[in-house]
Structures are given as C-alpha cells and as structure tokens.
Amino acid sequence: MPLRLRFLPGFLLLPVLFRLSAAIYTPIREYSGTDFFSEWDYYGFIDNTTWGNVTYVDQNTGTSQGLTFIDSSTGHAIIRVDNTTNIPAAQTVNRNSVKITTKDAYPIGSLIIIDVSHIPYGCSVWPSFWMLGTNILWPLGGEIDIIEAINNLNSNQYALHTTPGCYLAANSSQTGNTIETDCSTGQGCLVQETKPNSFGSGFAQAGGGVFATQLDVSGIYMWFWTVSISQSISNRPDSIIVSNSQRSSIPASISQADSASTMNLTDWGTPTAAYLSTGCNISQYFQPQQLVLDITLCGVW
C-alpha cells in the first residue's frame, strides 16, 4: 500500500507546562531547544493500543533514522514517521514511527501550552498529542486528547476518555461542536473544533497554531489559535518558518511570554471545549497525566 504524505510527515512543537499558584500560573517545565527529547521516554514497541501499521522505535533508532531530531536552522523539535523505506507487500506491514511520553506527570492545577508549526496529514495518517493517567489500566486514570484527527479531516477533535459516570455537561460554554457527551464511550466525550485551520492542509498552509489545555477542579478546558498569517511565508520541504510578528491571532499573554513568564487566561476568550465539573468530577476521574506524542498509520479509529 503506497503512502502519500503531504508536506513533512512529522510534528514541530514546543510544549510548556505551568502550575496554578494564587490564580496565576507559574512555569514548571519547558520542552524546547537542543535537549527537547531528554525529558521523554520512547515506547520502543509495536502500536498495541490503536493497532496501527507502525513500530514505535527506541531513541537510538529514532535518532539514527532521522525520525526525531532538532532542526538546526529553526530549533524546532521534529517527530516523523518513516515515509521513504520501500516495504514489500505482505499481509501485515509496519513502518517505523515514534511514540514518546514525558517522564513527568502533571496533576490537576496544571496548564499545558503547545506551539506546533506542522501536523502530518493525508490518507492513513493518525497523529496525536494527548495526556494519560499514570501507572493504572486505561481508562481508569483518565485520558485527555488535545490534538487528534485522521486522513483528510480538516478540523481537530478534542476528547476525554474515562470510566462510566463522566459527561460533557449540557450547559458548557464553548465554541466547539459537541459530537458525543458520554466520556466512557469508545470515542469519548468528543468536541470538534470550529475555528479554521486546526488540522490538515489548512493548518500547514497557515504555518501552524497554538493549543492549550487547563486542568482544574472546575473542569478541563481546551483552546486553539491559528497563526493566521497575513503575508507570504517561506515554505521549505522540511518546515514552515513563521516569525513571531505574524502570529496575530494568538493571545498576547502567550505570544509575548518568555520562559520565566507567569500566565493568566484573561485574554484567551471562550474555550473550544469545556468539560465542566458539574458533568464530571475531575478529581475522581483524572489522575496525574503524562504527555504523549505519536504518529500511527491506519489502526482502529
């Protein structure tokens, strides 16, 4: 089965973690720069959770095959799926890919911001950035899907996965479209992004965007802002380069922050997805969460 991946088949990203202190979030972890991958563990096994046609490689293999690296010209961390190896047809074939999980886990009271310049898309491609409860069978510790879509979908989807009893409340104030309210179903309590350019070719052509997730006792909230480029950009085969001055739609509290900045949410607006505690007891259903980043192909959607 030939794979045709448009643009770079990988992520370029920078997540930053904050912890709540007296209504202001203070920075506790930044994944960026040349040591980006030092705080992640590599899965190093087949995709045995969504049963995609990939083998997740270990760190040494990922580095030697160019599936994880830091772009020297941009400083971007890049995670790729192999799209060059000729694999003979067989009943089951796997390509090499990457799944990494943070060494740290983040409890309720945390804020996650991820700046992504590119997300892979196209037939069979399934990229995701998500959070998973630690040291407990799925979904007993809860799962939070922040970036996830497949194939040629043009919008991102957000979801929670839990044991029975957690729901997306009917009175949630959000801008996204509610697809499913029961978080214990196979697809979870699902919300679809309504802002443009959140996935697919639109995301690539816009030069990326920023996603944020707030874990709070009052609920779990997710936002998205497109770069919204108003002028032409440099579109290289391996990355899309955008200067900060072009990122006009992103709140100033984010776009003007540095590694020491505190964070408040007053200029963020209404979230795309709002999972209120009135429909789901956050402390009951969600253990401290590790960040997970992966790209699979095909699989059980």
pLDDT of 159-176, one tens digit each?
Answer: 999 999 999 999 889 999
SS (H, E, C) 15-35: EEEEEEECCEEEEEEECCHHH
- The distance between the two most distant Cα atoms of the chain, rounded to a whole number of Å, is 58
4 assigned to some structural domain: no
5 assigned to some structural domain: no
pLDDT of 176-224, one tens digit each?
Answer: 999 999 999 999 999 999 999 999 999 999 989 999 999 999 999 999 9
Helix, strand, or coil (residue 267): coil
Whole-prediction pTM value?
0.89
Q: Strand runs (DSSP E) across 134-272, as ranges?
A: 143-148, 157-161, 177-178, 189-192, 209-216, 219-226, 234-235, 240-241
145 assigned to some structural domain: yes
182 assigned to some structural domain: yes
251 assigned to some structural domain: yes
Query: Which CATH number is 207's domain given?
Result: 2.60.120.200
Q: How far apart are the first and last CA of the chain?
A: 19
Q: How far apart are CA 27 and CA 110, in angstroms?
A: 10
276 assigned to some structural domain: yes
Confidence of residue 232 (pLDDT cuts 50, 70, 90): very low
Domain limits for position 85: 10-297
Confidence of residue 230 (pLDDT cuts 50, 70, 90): very low
Number of domains in the chain: 1
278 assigned to some structural domain: yes
Q: How far apart are CA 121 and CA 4, in angstroms?
A: 9
Secondary element (H or E) of residue 59: helix 59-64
Task: Give bridge partners of residue 97 from the DSSP assignment.
Answer: 56
3 assigned to some structural domain: no
Of residues 262 and 223, more confidence is placed in 223
pLDDT of 97-155, one tens digit each?
Answer: 999 999 999 999 999 999 999 999 999 999 999 999 987 899 999 999 999 999 989 99
